[in-house]
C-alpha cells in the first residue's frame, strides 16, 4: 500500500511540474491540468486507504470493510448508471428524430378551408389534422397514395 501512496505522490508532483512548465504534454493528453488533478486525488485516496489499514491493523485492504470507500464506490456507480441511462434515452430520441419528417405545407384556399373546418370541428389545430391524415396514408403496390376515411380526434 505504501508503494501505491509513493507512486501517486510522485506522479502528482511530475504532472503538476509538467503542467506548470508547459512542455512535454504528449504523454498527458489534451488536458494536463486534469491529469495532475486525477493524480492528486489518487494520492489523497491511497493515503486515506493506507491510514485506514494501519488504524485497523489490516494486512490487506478489504473494500467491503471500508464504509467510506464503499459508499463512494456506490455513488460513482449510481452516477455512472444515471449517465448511461441519459445517454441511452438521448440516443433513442436522436433515432426517433431521424425518422421524423418535418414539413411546411402551403395549401390552396379550397383544401385549406376544408382542413381548417375539420380542425375546428374536432377542436384541433390544422397541423394536428394534417398529422393525423399523414399517419393514415396508404401506398398501394402501384404507387397510388390514398387515405381511408377517418374522423380527426384528440
Task: For 82-105, write each residue's pLDDT tens digit.
Answer: 999 999 999 998 888 887 777 888
The answer to whether residue 154 is domain-embedded is: no
The cell for 9 is: 505522490
Strands 138-139 and 145-146: antiparallel
The cell for 143 is: 404507387
For a pLDDT cut of 90, what percent of the chain falls above it?
A: 55
Cα 4 off chain centre by = 33
Indicate the average pLDDT of the chain.
Answer: 88
The answer to whether residue 152 is domain-embedded is: no
Quick one: which of 111, 152, 108 has its CA closest to 128?
152
Task: Indicate the length of the chain as a whole number.
Answer: 154
Note whether 18 and 36 are same-domain residues. Answer: yes
- In the structure, how many helices (H) and strands (E) does the chain have? 5, 2
Note whether 2 and 39 are same-domain residues. Answer: yes
Grid look-up 504534454 returns: 25
Q: What is the pLDDT along the chain (154 residues), one digit of tens a residue?
A: 778 888 888 888 888 777 777 655 455 566 777 888 888 888 999 899 999 999 999 999 888 899 999 999 899 999 999 999 999 999 998 888 887 777 888 999 999 999 999 999 999 999 999 999 999 999 999 999 999 999 999 8
pTM of the model: 0.47
Domain carrying residue 85: 62-100
Note whether 56 and 40 are same-domain residues. Answer: yes
Residue 138: strand pairing partners: 146
Amino acid at each position: 500500500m505504501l508503494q501505491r501512496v509513493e507512486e501517486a505522490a510522485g506522479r502528482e508532483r511530475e504532472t503538476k511540474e509538467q503542467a506548470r512548465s508547459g512542455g512535454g504534454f504528449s504523454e498527458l493528453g489534451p488536458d494536463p491540468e486534469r491529469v495532475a488533478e486525477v493524480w492528486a486525488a489518487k494520492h489523497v485516496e491511497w493515503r486515506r486507504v493506507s491510514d485506514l489499514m494501519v488504524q485497523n491493523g489490516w494486512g490487506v485492504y478489504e473494500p467491503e470493510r471500508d464504509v467510506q470507500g464503499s459508499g463512494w464506490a456506490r455513488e460513482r456507480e449510481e452516477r455512472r448508471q444515471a449517465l448511461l441511462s441519459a445517454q441511452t434515452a438521448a440516443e433513442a430520441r436522436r433515432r426517433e428524430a431521424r425518422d421524423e419528417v418535418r414539413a411546411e405545407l402551403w395549401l390552396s384556399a379550397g383544401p385549406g378551408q376544408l382542413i381548417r373546418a375539420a380542425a375546428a370541428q374536432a377542436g384541433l389545430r390544422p397541423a394536428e389534422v394534417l398529422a393525423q391524415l399523414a399517419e393514415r396514408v396508404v401506398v398501394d403496390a402501384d404507387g397510388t397514395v390514398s387515405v381511408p376515411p377517418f374522423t380527426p380526434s384528440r
